[in-house]
Each structure stands twice: as C-alpha cells, then as structure tokens.
Amino acid sequence: MPHLRKVIGAVLSFLIIATGSPVTTFAGQAAPPARAELGVTSNSTARLKREIDAILAREFLPFTNAGIKVMSLKEGDTIYEFNPRLLLVPASTQKLFTAAAALSLLGPDREVATTVALDAAGARVYLKGCGDSLLSGADLAALAAAVGPKMDRGREYSLAADLSCFDDLYRGTGWMWDDDEMLISPLSVNQNAVSVLVQPGPREGAPAVVTAEPRTSYYTLENLARTGTAKEPSSIQASRRPGEQDNVVTVTGVIALGSAPLVKQASVWRPELMALTLFRDALRAQGVKVTTMTTAPTPAGATVVARAPRRLEELVRFALKTSDNLTAESLLKLLGLHASGQPGSGEAGSVAMRGYLGRQGIATENLVLADGSGLSRYNLSSAETMTQTLRAIHRDPELYRIFQESLPIAGKDGTLKGRMKGSCAEGNLRGKTGNMRGVSALSGYASSADGEPFAFSIIIQNYAGSGRQAREVQDRIAALLCGFRRSP
C-alpha cells in the first residue's frame, strides 16, 4: 500500500507539472477553477499554484481531504485556493472566530473581574467569578489580603462561590468522553488544574519525587511513578480518571535518573470549589474565621469589598498564543452573557458569534459553531470562511493590531515556536494552529517577499497516523507564500 500510494502521488504530480492544470478531483471534491477564472493570471501565481498542487498530490492524494484559501489583503484577489468551500473540522483554529467576535463585540478594554462581596448582615462572604480563566492562587491571596482588614476578627463567616455569570455546564457541545483536560467554570483557578512537578529520585528504582500546585486539601496526590535508568525514556503521566469526581490525581510512569524535572497538568472536578477552598485558606491566614462553604448567588444589597480585574485583551492573547481551551470557552460564554443578559452559555455565545460573522458579510448557513475552543468535532468550517474572518478583522486597524499581535509567530513563540525555523516564514507568518487526531490546520497572516499581506487558511483532514506530515506540508506552503513575488 505505501508503494502504491507513492506511485499514485508521483503520477498525479507529473500530470500537474506537465499540464499546468489542477487534478480533476481531490478526495472526491471538484478541483478549483483555473486562475483565469479568478482574475489572477500572472506567471508567478500560476507557478505557485503548480508547486502547491504538486505538494498536495505527492503527500495526500487521493486519500486525504484538504481545503486551502490564500487571498491578498492589499489587492483583494485570490492567490491560491483548493476546495475553499469544503466543510472540514477546524480544530483549534475555531478560536479565531471566538477571539474575533470577543474583541469586536465585547471590546479589548472590557474588564473581566473576580469580586468579593459581604452581605448586608455581614455574615457571609461571596466570591464571584465571571470568566477570568487566568485567575491564580496568588490573585486569591491578594483578594484575601485586601478583604482581611475589613473583616471582624471576632466573628465567624460562611463563604459562598457565586457562579451566576455562566450556566452550569462544565463541558462543550460534542466533546468526547476523554476530553477531560479542563472543566469550564466562571470561577477558575490555576487553569482549573493541578500542576504536578515530577523529579527523579536519588537512584534507579526509587520513587519519583512528586509535588503539586496549588497546595490545597481539595485534591489527593497519588504517586506511582518511579525513577528509571539514565538512558530510559521518560513516560510520566498525571491525570484524574475521566469522569472521576473524587479528585485523586495519579502520577504514573518512569522518569530517567538525572533528568530535568517534568511538569504535568491534571484537571479537577468542580474547579470552583478548589478556588473557594484556596480563598478560605487565604482568609484564615489573614486571621478571618471561616466555617462553612457553599455555592450561592450574591444577594441584592451586598457590598463589594475587593475585586481583581483582568482586561479581555489579555484573555484573547493567552487563548491564541497558547491555544488555551478553557480561556476560549470562557470567552464564548462571556459572549453569551453579554448578548442574552442571562447566565452565559455556549449556545448563546455561538449565536452571538454567528451574528458577528453575518454582519461582516460572511455566509454562515453551512457553518457549525459547536464550541469556542475547537475541541468539538461537531464544528464545521471552510478555508474560505476562515480567510474571510481574517480579512474582516484586518479592516479594523486597532482590533487587527491586537488580534495579529496575539497570534503565535512562526519560529518565535506560542504554538509556532518550533516551526518554520530557518525559512522565510520565520518571524513573518502569524497564525493559529489546530490539531486533533486526523485533523491539522493553520490559519493566519503572512507577507510575501514583496511585502504584500496575505490571509490564508489550510485545513487538512482524514489521515492516518500523527499530524507531523500535515504540519510539514503547511510549513512548506507557508514558505512558498512568504517567498512569493507577483513579478518574477
């Protein structure tokens, strides 16, 4: 079969190069029209088309689907396209829709605040979260330090988590049973996970040395990891079994003797209660007596005594640079909260996102927006819709500056830090990656060798094995775009 695949690819590549025209089908889809039909007729563009077509034929035909679109943001014409309207799973490039809608509808300066309020009777303290996915244990300690001097040290207080900003669904629509890396909550802390630090023991066969943050009684750490030989590959895993609600984080595997420490993340069940537990402990450290803990909305008449704000721009930047799913889902629910005036839901957020795209003149009737992060395989989009969204945000200079600066830079940072090094795309291309089993995508902005700005989207789907080959193809196409000149 590998030999047959190579033969088929070679034949198709030969036909493309020999005829200068695209193959007639790609994984059952009609090939794009000739360049003359798109108003782009230069020899350099035709050459770019032949080169990209040949790459696709060699690497993927006839087994794998792909959708590609490249448009000039200066001239407005199409530089290259292949199955641009083919509906595919966008994976984490879905975050581009979420980020664009959040910046446009909510504004980069919007404050996403975590607040502390005291009821009128002065007996209960309310910790209210409203979607700050970057809230840390240090932030909670700072809130406690601000609140402490205002509390009566001789009085006992109960503590409540106010979760009224969002609905009570922890997961997005269409997530798989093992998509348990994080749970969505309006009151988050430490990315709703335990950070586990694993170091080798003093000798081969000794238990690994394991510590975790944040330090709290809310979870139990079970260490089953051992120290291997100096040459043994590390295989450390830290996890809470999917669906497990006892918050037992189990560390397994081997860490090589003398190797550097490893950091792993494990999600916790009901993460808002971990935040509440940390805040309770911080209040006690301030000398405040806290007895019971519960969840309840802040009542009318309560007084806000402390707040920890975060600008929405910071959340968007973190979501795009690191491809953070929790932040993207929190942004989606914030959109829902803003649009409906009810506890933010993924469904209401998706309606708001669809409305935003429609107002940009982007057709949405074939678009499926199931979540904000791209974890859901229910999501369906196309390379054309992606590039149209990128073009829409480009039209607003201030929002484009924030949006573009939030994207990973090829070879420099974020999820593109290790890619395209040494090519003309390094330091040039800014894009959002998307990867899940059988899907790999890259969408963003790049400039040609002449400085002409492009918006592009590459979505590759339905392949066996890892996504390494798909990512390599994306990087090669990116280098062709960055090296492109309209005039030879």
CA distance 438 to 464: 6
CA distance 384 to 69: 6
pLDDT per residue as tens digits for the range 29-76: 444 433 333 334 457 899 999 999 999 999 987 889 999 999 999 999
Residue 449: helix, strand or coil by DSSP?
coil
Residues 324 and 225 in one domain: no
Q: Confirm whether 432 is a catalytic residue.
A: no
Half-sphere exposure of 230 (CA within 13 A, CB side): 2
Residues 471 and 374 in one domain: yes
Reading the block at residue 146, the tokens are 């601000």
**Which pLDDT score is estimated for 265?**
94
Give the number of other Cβ atoms within 10 Å of residue 368's Cβ: 17
261 lies in a domain?
Answer: yes
Which phi and psi angles does 345 have, rounded to 5°?
-125, 160
Q: 29, 83 in Cβ contact below 8 A?
A: yes
Nearest CA-CA partner of 324 in 80, 94, 125: 94
Q: 321, 414 in Cβ contact below 8 A?
A: yes
The CATH number of whichever domain residue 377 belongs to comes to 3.40.710.10
Catalytic residue among 323, 330, 448, 457: 323
**Which pLDDT score is estimated for 248?**
96
Q: Confirm whether 42 is a catalytic residue.
A: no
Catalytic residue among 49, 69, 95, 128: 95
Nearest CA-CA partner of 98 in 356, 449, 290: 356
CA distance 160 to 275: 11
Residues 340 and 453 in one domain: yes
Reading the block at residue 49, the tokens are 């088309």
Nearest CA-CA partner of 311 in 142, 125, 477, 107: 107
Nearest CA-CA partner of 215 in 261, 264, 282: 282
75 lies in a domain?
Answer: yes
By DSSP bridging, strand 111-118 and strand 303-311 are antiparallel
CA distance 420 to 418: 7
**Which pLDDT score is estimated for 46?**
92
For 20-67, where are the alpha helices, taking DSSP H only?
Answer: 43-59
Query: Domain boundary at 242, 267, 292, which?
Result: 267
Half-sphere exposure of 347 (CA within 13 A, CB side): 5
Nearest CA-CA partner of 95 in 446, 477, 419, 436: 436
CA distance 407 to 400: 11
pTM of the model: 0.90
Q: Residues near 74 by Cβ (< 8 Å), separated by ≥ 6?
A: 452, 453
CA 388 to chain centre: 20
388 lies in a domain?
Answer: yes
Q: 63, 57 in Cβ contact below 8 A?
A: no
**Which pLDDT score is estimated for 203?**
96
Reading the block at residue 115, the tokens are 């607040």
What angle, rounded to 10 degrees, do the helices at 2-19 and 43-59 form?
Answer: 170
202 lies in a domain?
Answer: yes
Residues 349 and 473 in one domain: yes
Residues 412 and 334 in one domain: yes
By DSSP bridging, strand 226-228 and strand 254-256 are parallel
Residues 225 and 327 in one domain: no
Give the number of other Cβ atoms within 10 Å of residue 455's Cβ: 23
Q: Confirm whether 95 is a catalytic residue.
A: yes
By DSSP bridging, strand 248-252 and strand 220-223 are parallel
Residues 262 and 337 in one domain: no
Q: Pick out the chain residues at pLDDT < 70.
A: 1-42, 180, 488
362 lies in a domain?
Answer: yes
89 lies in a domain?
Answer: yes
Tokens 């980069």 identify what position? 108
Tokens 């493309």 identify what position? 16
14 lies in a domain?
Answer: yes
Domain count, the chain: 2
Left if phi > 0, otherwise alpha if psi is -120 to 50, otherwise beta: which for 241? beta
Residues 462 and 346 in one domain: yes
Q: 272, 185 in Cβ contact below 8 A?
A: yes
Stated as kind and residue range, the H or E segment containing 275 is: helix 271-285
Give the number of other Cβ atoms within 10 Å of residue 369's Cβ: 27
466 lies in a domain?
Answer: yes
Tokens 């933010």 identify what position? 344
CA distance 239 to 253: 12
**Which pLDDT score is estimated for 34?**
35
Query: Domain boundary at 226, 246, 267, which?
Result: 267
Residues 358 and 245 in one domain: no
CA distance 337 to 13: 51
How does DSSP classify residue 127? Answer: E
Residues 449 and 336 in one domain: yes
Catalytic residue among 13, 69, 92, 376: 92
Range of the domain at 201: 190-267
Reading the block at residue 101, the tokens are 């809608």
Residues 371 and 460 in one domain: yes
Stated as kind and residue range, the H or E segment containing 318 is: helix 312-322
